[in-house]
Amino acid sequence: MTERRLLLVNGPNLNLLGTREPEIYGSQTLDDVERIVADAAAARGFEVRAVQSNHEGVLLDAIHAARLDCAGIVINPGGLTHTSVVLRDALAGVDLPVAEVHISDVSQREPFRHHSYVADVAVVHVAGEGVAGYATAVRLLLDVVTGRAEG
């Protein structure tokens, strides 16, 4: 492994963190999430490139580009988790280890949120830890990336 960079992907509506349904998602913002991820990665000598978009194609393009200079992907697909085969296929197609993160415990929410198209391509799954779950996901993913754990 030569690249010491992770791609952080946040899907639709995550730009509203801090104001959107704080009883579910808390009061921390997307900037807070990006700082948490950058700090967790930096502690292990990695940098982070972050992207958030409400447009699926922007996320796909960022994932495709990651295959050239990233060692792994941390993703909270938002609602695309439950609807997007093309997002799943993009993640599978770049052949990078993936950590799937959800701020809330989606298994305890509405039934339509119980299925994840990303789950089978992710080697790390973190849900229900709030935004702190992003740091957990980074640590676990970097264990895989650096060979400390199997993916």
Q: Confirm whether residue 89 is marked as ligand binding.
A: yes
Cα–Cα distance for residue pair 96/91, rounded to 1 Å: 7
Q: Which helix (H) or strand (E) holds 75?
A: strand 72-76
DSSP label of 36: H
**Residues 102, 114, 125, 134: which is the catalytic one?**
102
Strand order in the sheet with 98-102: 47-52, 5-10, 72-76, 98-102, 124-127
| pTM metric for this prediction | 0.93
Cα–Cα distance for residue pair 141/92, rounded to 1 Å: 16
Q: How many CB atoms lie within 10 A of CB 95?
A: 8
Over the stretch 35-49, which tens digit does the pLDDT of each residue have?
Answer: 999 999 999 999 999
Where does residue 48 fall: left (phi above 0), alpha (psi -120 to 50 degrees), or beta otherwise?
A: beta
Q: Confirm whether residue 10 is marked as ligand binding.
A: no
Say what angle helices 85-94 and 56-69 make with each other, to 10 degrees. 10
**Residues 25, 55, 114, 117: which is the catalytic one?**
25
Backbone angles phi, psi at 23, to 5 degrees: -70, -20
**pLDDT greater at residue 148 or residue 126:** 126
Q: Confirm whether residue 143 is marked as ligand binding.
A: no
Q: Confirm whether residue 113 is marked as ligand binding.
A: yes
Over the stretch 58-103, which tens digit does the pLDDT of each residue have?
Answer: 999 999 999 999 999 999 999 999 899 999 999 999 999 999 999 9
The reply to whether 102 belongs to the active site is yes
Q: Which two tokens stand for residue 17?
A: 């963190």
CATH superfamily of 5-145: Dehydroquinase, class II (3.40.50.9100)
- The reported pLDDT for the residue numbered 148 is 87
